[in-house]
Amino acid sequence: MASQQVSEHPLQLSSYSKRVLLKTILDRPDGGLGLTGERVVIGGWVKSSKEKGRNSGAPQSPPSGNASEVPAASTQGVDVTCSEVIQARIPPCLRSFVRIFIGGRRPSDAPDPTKKAPSMAYLLVNDGSSVSSIQVVVKSSVAPISQVTSPGTSILAEGLLKQPSNTGKRVIELEVENILHIGTVDLTKYPLTKTRLPLEFLRNYSHLRPRTTMVASVTRIRNALAYATHTFCQNHGFLYVNMPVITSTDSMGNGETFQVTTLFSEAEKIEEPNPMNDHGAINLEVVKTAIKEKSNRVQELQRTDSNKEALLVALLDLQKTNELALQMEEREKAKPGTSFKVGKVDFSEDYFSRQAYLSASAQLHIESYACALGSVYAFGPTFRTKDSHSSRHLAESWMVELEIAFAELEDAMNCVEDYVKFLCKWILENCSNDMKLLAKRIDKTSMDRLRSVASSTFERLTYTKTVELLMEIADKTFETKVYWGINLAEEHERYLADEIFKKPVIIYDHPKEVKPFYVRVNDDGKTVCAMDLVLPKVGAVIRGSQKEERIDVLSTRIQECGLRQEMYDWYLDLRRHGNVKHTGFSLGFEQMVMLATGLDDIRDAIPFPRSHGKLTC
């Protein structure tokens, strides 16, 4: 069967999937021309299609190179099933399998498959390995055209590579001889049939959007940035360490953290059938209703000033009921899972027997590894409840964090500059086709920007100098007025990189009030040993600092920041014993993806965005 023929094939097979990756055909310097006459199996999803010769009319032009330039596929269906046509051409073992996919009636009641059907279709098929799609020619004698023309349809097909019969820019196409699989699309239900769908729309379908040309390119670039990061770090002797997601410390000390719990599931269990109710016996709610009624009765008796006997009886009765309610409440309190109530949660009942948070940064933990092994890095998810506008912030975002022992802020600045340039060069060298597409679709200047970042010497200036510069600006008014002491806003940072220096800028020595407690206090006592890397277009992508190594100063800072000292006792151990100067920084990975792709919204830079009130999939 097909797989054997292909396994003897010189072309590179997809690892662990018996097909040829399209990039090995289309991304060759000759565009695949040299493979003319080769027999291959390819698999992928239809981007667009054109039918031909319904009435054996003049051939229509085939779909052009850019999927987006052709209209959505014709949906003129053929009212026949094709099971038998395909089954005639594939090994028995696959027949039932194919029938399952393409559905339709059993051979018994199937009419002549060629009747009324268009004679052939040109499909553009993409398999995710390349930004390019291959033109696939399917004759109605191989498969019913209506089954394969819908965008999103998956096909596994065997055929011959040949030069296109018709004139067009593509140099090679696949003439299908054998369809091994069709995964149909119901156009009435599939949301991605139109081309060039806006990113906002695609966000509603984060489980399907990687099938679009653009999101696929973003995914390949994100992959490249991640691998480039590992390569850079490993080349420079950094050890990769997996830092915990569940932590006992609110690492930012700003309360913007999620909590992790199993208390709810405990509590929900209480909802299971309550024996008291099952036996039709009274429960607390019933009693409380009774109390209300009896109270009303008492009040009425008081108003009407009727005989005291009746009032007394009513009151005694009411009191009994009140006592019952009291007892029942006591019992409720004794149950498991009932331990959390308004404003007071008993975390001794929780999974970790204490409060547990989702880490907002690996910072504190990674220092313990840097202070043992020298240079380390982490790459993992971090979490913030911070509720700023969701086009710039996510509840869950990935962060690359490096920490270097025996290093000071200048060392980290050098590392930041080398690292970011390395990433930009890597993308330009390894993702040129994806970059070209994104430049065309999103931001024409994105490649120039990467080149400029890769080649320019980063500007380095103090926060104080930065504020002076910004205050001198006459021709621009900022939403937030600039003065020494403010936490520079995106508008300020962007203006520096975009307008003033037109290149990456490292701002350092910020006021201690705007930085976390662990940043080293400078000798002036006012500023701390921090730095931010601001890039054109995307703003601050890296925040770093030299850590406060003096335990007395650190303790003071913890108190100043209103944090609970005992929470950080283990962290202070790193200063108590075998203390060293150390410095590090963290890169917002989605921000880096935005720089590389030119995307404007962070929700498009991560596969499954998580933001306030939004949790689909």
Q: How far, CA to CA in Å, does 188 sit from each of 82, 136, 193, 313, 575?
A: 21, 24, 9, 71, 64
Q: How far apart are CA 439 and CA 447, in angstroms?
A: 7
Applying CB under 8 A, which part among 32-40, 71-79, 160-168, 260-268 lies near a copy of itself?
260-268
* Residue placing its CB nearer to a copy of itself in the complex, 356 or 563: 356
Applying CB under 8 A, which part among 14-22, 25-33, 80-88, 534-542 lies near a copy of itself?
14-22
- Return the SS3 of 67: helix
Contact partners, residue 574, CB within 8 Å, separation at least 6: 367, 368, 371
CB-based contact 133:106 (threshold 8 Å): no
Of 77, 162, 581, 601, the one binding a copy of itself (CB under 8 A) is: 581
As measured in angstroms, the least distance from the Cβ of 522 to a copy of itself is 13
As measured in angstroms, the least distance from the Cβ of 93 to a copy of itself is 11
As measured in angstroms, the least distance from the Cβ of 239 to a copy of itself is 4
As measured in angstroms, the least distance from the Cβ of 602 to a copy of itself is 13
Of 39, 52, 220, 603, the one binding a copy of itself (CB under 8 A) is: 220
Q: How far apart are CA 363 and CA 369, in angstroms?
A: 10
Q: Does 426 bind a copy of itself (CB under 8 A)?
A: no
Applying CB under 8 A, which part among 329-337, 487-495, 502-510, 531-539 lies near a copy of itself?
329-337
For residue 600, which amino acid is it?
D
Q: Does 276 bind a copy of itself (CB under 8 A)?
A: no
CB-based contact 184:153 (threshold 8 Å): yes
Q: Is the dihedral of CA 381, 382, 385, 390 positive or negative?
A: negative
Q: How far apart are CA 547 and CA 583, in angstroms?
A: 6
Q: Does 15 bind a copy of itself (CB under 8 A)?
A: yes
Q: How far, CA to CA in Å, does 75 sit from each of 70, 352, 544?
A: 14, 57, 55
Token pair belonging to 485: 């002491």
Token pair belonging to 373: 């092994």
Of 33, 246, 310, 471, the one binding a copy of itself (CB under 8 A) is: 246
- Four-CA torsion 475, 477, 483, 489, nearest 10 degrees: -120
CB-based contact 533:542 (threshold 8 Å): yes
As measured in angstroms, the least distance from the Cβ of 168 to a copy of itself is 25
Size of the site for a copy of itself (CB under 8 A): 147
Contact partners, residue 561, CB within 8 Å, separation at least 6: 253, 516, 517
* Residue placing its CB nearer to a copy of itself in the complex, 124 or 415: 415
Of 28, 258, 282, 555, the one binding a copy of itself (CB under 8 A) is: 258
* Residue placing its CB nearer to a copy of itself in the complex, 196 or 550: 550
Site string for a copy of itself, 488-527 (x = CB under 8 A): ----------------------------------------
As measured in angstroms, the least distance from the Cβ of 566 to a copy of itself is 12
Binding to a copy of itself, residues 381-410 (CB under 8 A): 381, 383, 385, 395-396, 398, 404-407
Of 169, 279, 303, 354, the one binding a copy of itself (CB under 8 A) is: 354
Of 139, 160, 340, 456, the one binding a copy of itself (CB under 8 A) is: 340
Binding to a copy of itself, residues 446-465 (CB under 8 A): none
Binding to a copy of itself, residues 66-125 (CB under 8 A): 100-101
As measured in angstroms, the least distance from the Cβ of 29 to a copy of itself is 19
Contact partners, residue 69, CB within 8 Å, separation at least 6: none
Token pair belonging to 452: 């400029």
CB-based contact 365:244 (threshold 8 Å): yes
Binding to a copy of itself, residues 224-243 (CB under 8 A): 226-227, 230, 234, 236-243
- Tell which residue, 523, 525, 486, 524, has the closest CA to residue 507: 486
Applying CB under 8 A, which part among 29-37, 71-79, 146-154, 169-177 lies near a copy of itself?
146-154
Token pair belonging to 242: 């997996």
Binding to a copy of itself, residues 153-212 (CB under 8 A): 153-154, 156, 181, 183-186, 189-190, 206-208, 210-211
Applying CB under 8 A, which part among 26-34, 82-90, 343-351, 486-494 lies near a copy of itself?
343-351
Q: How far, CA to CA in Å, does 300 sit from each of 127, 291, 303, 305?
A: 79, 14, 5, 8
As measured in angstroms, the least distance from the Cβ of 228 to a copy of itself is 11
* Residue placing its CB nearer to a copy of itself in the complex, 111 or 244: 244
Applying CB under 8 A, which part among 65-73, 165-173, 459-467, 566-574 lies near a copy of itself?
566-574
* Pairing mode, strands 120-126 and 134-139: antiparallel
* Residue placing its CB nearer to a copy of itself in the complex, 404 or 497: 404
Length of the chain counted residue by residue:
617
Q: Does 352 bind a copy of itself (CB under 8 A)?
A: yes
Applying CB under 8 A, which part among 76-84, 458-466, 503-511, 601-609 lies near a copy of itself?
601-609
Q: How far apart are CA 261 and CA 266, in angstroms?
A: 10
Of 283, 289, 302, 306, the one binding a copy of itself (CB under 8 A) is: 302
- Tell which residue, 594, 580, 105, 141, has the closest CA to residue 368: 580
Q: Does 610 bind a copy of itself (CB under 8 A)?
A: yes
Applying CB under 8 A, which part among 74-82, 379-387, 453-461, 525-533 lies near a copy of itself?
379-387
Q: Give the CA count within 13 Å in the CB-facing half-sphere of 411.
A: 14
Q: How far apart are CA 142 and CA 176, in angstroms?
A: 8
* Residue placing its CB nearer to a copy of itself in the complex, 110 or 318: 318
Q: Does 269 bind a copy of itself (CB under 8 A)?
A: yes
Q: Does 587 bind a copy of itself (CB under 8 A)?
A: no
Helix (H) or strand (E) run with residue 177 in it: strand 173-183
Q: How far, CA to CA in Å, does 115 sit from each of 80, 118, 137?
A: 8, 9, 19
Applying CB under 8 A, which part among 25-33, 471-479, 486-494, 603-611 lies near a copy of itself?
603-611
Q: How far, CA to CA in Å, does 357 sit from each of 119, 152, 256, 340?
A: 62, 41, 10, 17
* Residue placing its CB nearer to a copy of itself in the complex, 249 or 466: 249
Q: How far apart are CA 584 and CA 302, in angstroms?
A: 75
Of 323, 448, 468, 560, the one binding a copy of itself (CB under 8 A) is: 323
